[in-house]
Amino acid sequence: MGTKQKVLFIIFLVLAIATNVFILVEGGMSGSLSGAQSGGITNAFIEFVRRIDPNSPIVTDPDSTHYLVRKLVGHFGLFGISGIFTTLSFMLYKNLLREHRWLLLIISAFIGLLIAFTSELLQLLHKDRFFSPIDTLIDFAGYIGFGGITFLIGLLVIRKDKSKDA
């Protein structure tokens, strides 16, 4: 692994670890703290939409908007970011992508599922939160979706590099 790859590996690994720790910390928060945090994001989004279309359903039904923000940003999107950084870390580590493609996918998917399951289990620490199998699936779908796209792009880059070398 060259110096550039080592630096990129360290950057992506740190970002993957930071994202996953953030996810687990969020999972361990009380419902009121978690709701307030996502409520701030929701309110900013509603205000943005209000300036464009004051009669939008996003503006007129803030509870549904908050629910969607929690699921799309807090679950699917955040786990998507985790999937990207974790996959990039694996791809750069000793060129695993070139030699053990399926092993990379299996290990990465297991990590995504483990973090999704653990973040939901941590919610049981608070009486105002609960374990949600649906949220676990949304988390895992975000992780696999974004990680899979990252993996496919990596394959395309490798094929392009191989064609240049030939």
Please give the pLDDT value at position 98: 63
User: How far is the C-alpha of 107 from the C-alpha of 113, rounded, in Å?
Assistant: 10
Residues of the chain under the 70 pLDDT cut:
1, 94-99, 162, 165-166
Please give the pLDDT value at position 90: 85
User: How far is the C-alpha of 71 from the C-alpha of 162, rounded, in Å?
Assistant: 40
Q: Domain segments of the chain: what residues?
A: 3-30+79-161
Q: What is the DSSP string of the chain?
A: --HHHHHHHHHHHHHHHHHHHHHHHHHTS-HHHHHHHHHHHHHHHHHHHHHH-TT-HHHH-HHHHHHHHIIIIIIIIHHHHHHHHHHHHHHHGGGHHHH-HHHHHHHHHHHHHHHHHHHHHHGGGSTT----HHHHHHHHHHHHHHHHHHHHHHHHHHHHHHHHH-
Please give the pLDDT value at position 150: 93
Instruction: Calculate the alpha carbon distances from 63 to 40, 49, 66, 90, 123 in Å.
Output: 13, 15, 5, 39, 21
Structure token pair of residue 124: 């049981």
User: How far is the C-alpha of 159 from the C-alpha of 71, rounded, in Å?
Assistant: 35
User: How far is the C-alpha of 89 from the C-alpha of 12, rounded, in Å?
Assistant: 5
Please give the pLDDT value at position 116: 96
Q: Are 90 and 96 in contact (CB under 8 A)?
A: yes
